[in-house]
Structure 1
């Protein structure tokens, strides 16, 4: 008789039990077996892991949407069915009309906990999320965020001057600059001052502790997940919360990097909250986000206050969302402008005309109204958010039996046209932001091209309202939509206008192939040089 290790026996029994549970549920609950999709390569690994191994985000998403329509079926580990949707009506139903009826999956909340602690994106249910949202809302009102424009402009001016002094002064004909690293340092300084009234010093100090801890964190921890980790995560639905909270301590690359970065954020956050709490007793005028949060939390009913741990965790999510996503968006926009020099010239000419108008009226710099009136710049920002969405998938789970409507009917496995999909309690739904943002029915026949003129010429046809900004899904939507989307848009406008006004961007002479790697967030890497981390080299010339 074979003498098998006990651990292998236990694993085999658990895996077999999990498969049997899946089979039982598929026979007794609403099944999505009639929804077409690519075949699973393996009963154990399924095919959803393929999405994390695409060379560029969207390679498979766009292929499947073209073949199966706006909803298709994938298989997760141990054959668990996953419903992928890019249909606007389905997205509207899940995110808007159903409120908190589609919470995040156990995997999503656990990973959010590992990266950000008990922050607003971790919040596992509607009660906790609405409590976080209520405390955070005062810090993200439109007037509050518009007040940060001078800060954004100071930071972008500093970046421009550093490029001119440190790089371009020696090479007036221009040189290649890895723009994403500079932008990440700039936006880290911005979020430090705006959110915490704290100087990270990232632009001045490349050895900055937080910058080094955060650099390439997503690529190091989330890019190309291992087989063992996919199998391990399949069991998370059956583990108690107290056990899942210890996952972050597993000493592997998937978790070690997240843990060390979060620990550093918490250390800074505890210090800042203590300082601000003491200062607010005598100074109630501070407008940085953390000060506003502390005041809001202090005045809240004790039953609904955020705990110390929840308050500390907000620093991590605000830093990640406030600097990484914005830096990435501006990076991709500069890349597209380098590929479309004629449009770049239009934006620069438009900025120059507005600058002359500002000088003529005796003002020193752009106002929010000035930036928002720049039609070509606004179109380029919207088109980049559409074409290069930084977050490309969101995971949700049906908390009860439901029926999801479709704006665009699909063909079932039996050949029937269906306009709604019944789902059972527990059904995993993957919201495909990347695919929705390329849906030809919404964005036009040229949806797979970067063409900002679609906004200038008003060619977008949003028959179903979904997103929070320009009907895009890039900031998610509904009750769990990104609370800081206005901050990101205003910051992007301010920094992009300064860079385009001062510099010409072109592709480098060697024209490296840039791929959009799936690393939890979508970022740029040079094909064949992925080991160098996120990198976007562009040829920059002062104008």
Structure 2
């Protein structure tokens, strides 16, 4: 046993991190004393603060309970008693998202952690650098480009259907693990649609170097707070990080550079032949946009920045659809009447391979997807930090613990802020008293107040809004519609465990939620029973 490496170093890291956190906490409370007078829950734990309650929340509804008790704007206790401002006030949220380039960035700790894993892609960079990357990347995510990718979404959905059909034929239980199949499909989709790489995960293809590398990076991305603190501390103190993660990151950079080199060659070759390329994967489209002669040289992305988008595509494209589609299937098991009505609409379509326009023309499918993304948004909250002093307007005034009324908040540089996406999507003040009910027909009778939600899509905060809105929201929507179109036509869905066994708990400090069976922990999966649909009846 290596005593130094195995015992002394971990103890030293914990000790130093505790001391640093304690010092930061004391400094933070001196810098932001005004927030201590805002209403909010008590601090249940010195180290983790109210994050303990968020992690222990079975139904991902803790922010709703706090908002009901303290109002739309309140204070939370973060790590080591730091004050976190939480708001779902529409006026305040609009202000934060509108000025996300100038004032409200992702916290440095979050950016440092993600950046060490996937590089400085569009998820990590801020300010002018983010603006430049978005400008180059936006053309790859437009409606025309997503329309061209729809065939991939449908083809891979059909492969998932066939994969599950083979799975249920192996056992009389007819049980499948939803997340396992969806994960394979999402990997195949992002490979083909992202950079024209075929993982063949659904056809039990080879365990490629790229898929193994991604598994390491993504596994690290979802770790708990101790791992996050250790990664951040290692970078702060210039200590060696996890060698497995370091090697995986190095391999991802090498593979990314190879994929980028091939994409650039293909783009240049196509340009010589007919002036435009035939490839429609995101990386090829990004390369073409970056090589556009109308783009000034100083606005072009470096090869390093372009390559950094590859793991970014992985993280964003994989987990969002996995969580959303898992939630959709869970909803189908709980609302058989909705499942039947949806299936009737889908079976009336005379093809197994619909176009994007055909998917968008299905009213009940669109209403169902919207309601899933409202009530089961994959990311339950987002975090921001003010990079300069600001004044935040409020729609609903705050009465602090001393009885003082605030119609605006003076935000100091460094202030941490949390926007509870899921809670705002369920706010009864915006959606009405039936806000917690799953009602696809809600889209036909939507309250006027929901128009105040500053989301990029359909008056929801699911894909955020403003300059940092999810760049791939069209991609995610059509992929989810393709999945549901294919699977609901093929199977009837039932839970394989009692409803009481389902929880929406997530790893500590990870704002990602999906339905999972408590009896299947630590796998964090949802088991369902599939019954093939008899189309002859």
Which structure 2 residues correspond to residues 448-487 of structure 1 after superposition, within 5 A? 448-459=436-447, 461-487=449-475
Q: Distance in 2 between matches of 1:155 and 1:170?
A: 21
Q: Which runs of 5+ in 1 are unaligned?
A: 359-363
TM-score, reference length from structure 1: 0.86
CA drift at 1:87:
1.8
Cross-structure match for 2:518: 527
Over 3 Å counting, the alpha-carbon distance change for 1:59 and 1:129 in structure 2 is same
Give per-residue Cα distances to partners, 1:47-69, cap 9 Å, x unaligned: 14325532436242222111111
**Alignment counterpart, residue 28 of structure 2, candidates 15, 18, 22:** 22
Secondary structure of the 1:522 match is: coil
Larger mean CA deviation between 331-340 and 60-69 belongs to: 60-69
Cross-structure match for 1:345: 340
CA drift at 1:302:
3.2
The answer to whether the Cα contact below 8 Å between 2:343 and 2:488 also exists between their aligned partners in 1 is yes
**Alignment counterpart, residue 72 of structure 2, candidates 50, 70, 73:** 70
1:36 paired to 2:39: yes
Secondary structure of the 2:530 match is: strand
Q: Distance in 2 between matches of 1:306 and 1:498?
A: 38
The answer to whether the Cα contact below 8 Å between 1:149 and 1:368 also exists between their aligned partners in 2 is yes
Cross-structure match for 1:334: 329
Q: Distance in 2 between matches of 1:7 and 1:99?
A: 34
Secondary structure of the 2:76 match is: strand
Over 3 Å counting, the alpha-carbon distance change for 1:495 and 1:280 in structure 2 is same
Over 3 Å counting, the alpha-carbon distance change for 1:7 and 1:382 in structure 2 is closer
1:506 paired to 2:512: no
The answer to whether the Cα contact below 8 Å between 1:202 and 1:211 also exists between their aligned partners in 2 is no
Cross-structure match for 2:92: 90
Which structure 2 residues correspond to residues 102-121 of structure 1 after superposition, within 5 A? 102-121=104-123
Which structure 2 residues correspond to residues 252-291 of structure 1 after superposition, within 5 A? 259=246, 261-283=248-270, 284-291=277-284
Q: Distance in 2 between matches of 1:186 and 1:88?
A: 36
CA drift at 1:97:
4.8
1:541 paired to 2:531: yes
Larger mean CA deviation between 9-18 and 318-327 belongs to: 9-18
Give per-residue Cα distances to partners, 1:296-334, cap 9 Å, x unaligned: 223343323222221111011111211221122111101
Secondary structure of the 1:430 match is: strand
Secondary structure of the 1:83 match is: strand
Q: Which runs of 5+ in 2 are unaligned?
A: 1-10, 271-276
Over 3 Å counting, the alpha-carbon distance change for 1:343 and 1:189 in structure 2 is same
Q: Distance in 2 between matches of 1:7 and 1:335?
A: 41
Q: Distance in 2 between matches of 1:529 and 1:508?
A: 11
Which structure 2 residues correspond to residues 369-448 of structure 1 after superposition, within 5 A? 369-448=357-436
CA drift at 1:203:
0.8
CA drift at 1:530:
1.9
Q: Distance in 2 between matches of 1:487 and 1:26?
A: 40
User: How many pairs align?
Assistant: 511
Give per-residue Cα distances to partners, 1:484-525, cap 9 Å, x unaligned: 100000111111111111111111265561222323222343
Secondary structure of the 2:525 match is: coil
Q: Distance in 1 between matches of 2:355 and 2:149?
A: 11
Q: Distance in 1 between matches of 2:502 and 2:326?
A: 12
CA drift at 1:15:
5.8
Secondary structure of the 1:287 match is: coil
The answer to whether the Cα contact below 8 Å between 1:54 and 1:60 also exists between their aligned partners in 2 is no
CA drift at 1:169:
4.3
The answer to whether the Cα contact below 8 Å between 1:221 and 1:258 also exists between their aligned partners in 2 is no
Cross-structure match for 1:293: 286
Cross-structure match for 2:3: none
The answer to whether the Cα contact below 8 Å between 2:393 and 2:409 also exists between their aligned partners in 1 is yes
The answer to whether the Cα contact below 8 Å between 1:216 and 1:534 also exists between their aligned partners in 2 is no
Cross-structure match for 2:203: 204
Larger mean CA deviation between 80-89 and 217-226 belongs to: 217-226
The answer to whether the Cα contact below 8 Å between 2:503 and 2:517 also exists between their aligned partners in 1 is yes
Q: Distance in 2 between matches of 1:6 and 1:140?
A: 46
The answer to whether the Cα contact below 8 Å between 1:99 and 1:478 also exists between their aligned partners in 2 is no
Cross-structure match for 1:361: none
CA drift at 1:188:
1.3
Secondary structure of the 1:152 match is: helix
CA drift at 1:120:
0.4
Over 3 Å counting, the alpha-carbon distance change for 1:7 and 1:146 in structure 2 is closer
Larger mean CA deviation between 210-219 and 175-184 belongs to: 210-219
TM-score, reference length from structure 2: 0.87
Over 3 Å counting, the alpha-carbon distance change for 1:244 and 1:481 in structure 2 is farther
The answer to whether the Cα contact below 8 Å between 2:176 and 2:527 also exists between their aligned partners in 1 is yes
Larger mean CA deviation between 372-381 and 407-416 belongs to: 407-416
Q: Distance in 1 between matches of 2:22 and 2:488?
A: 58
Over 3 Å counting, the alpha-carbon distance change for 1:318 and 1:219 in structure 2 is closer
Secondary structure of the 2:36 match is: coil
Q: Distance in 2 between matches of 1:222 and 1:168?
A: 30
Secondary structure of the 1:155 match is: helix
Over 3 Å counting, the alpha-carbon distance change for 1:463 and 1:272 in structure 2 is closer
Over 3 Å counting, the alpha-carbon distance change for 1:407 and 1:196 in structure 2 is same
Give per-residue Cα distances to partners, 1:342-369, cap 9 Å, x unaligned: 001110111122x14x6xxxxx742322
Cross-structure match for 2:6: none
CA drift at 1:231:
9.0
Q: Distance in 1 between matches of 2:358 and 2:21?
A: 60
Q: Distance in 1 between matches of 2:237 and 2:469?
A: 25
**Alignment counterpart, residue 58 of structure 2, candidates 56, 68, 85:** 56
Q: Distance in 1 between matches of 2:397 and 2:215?
A: 43
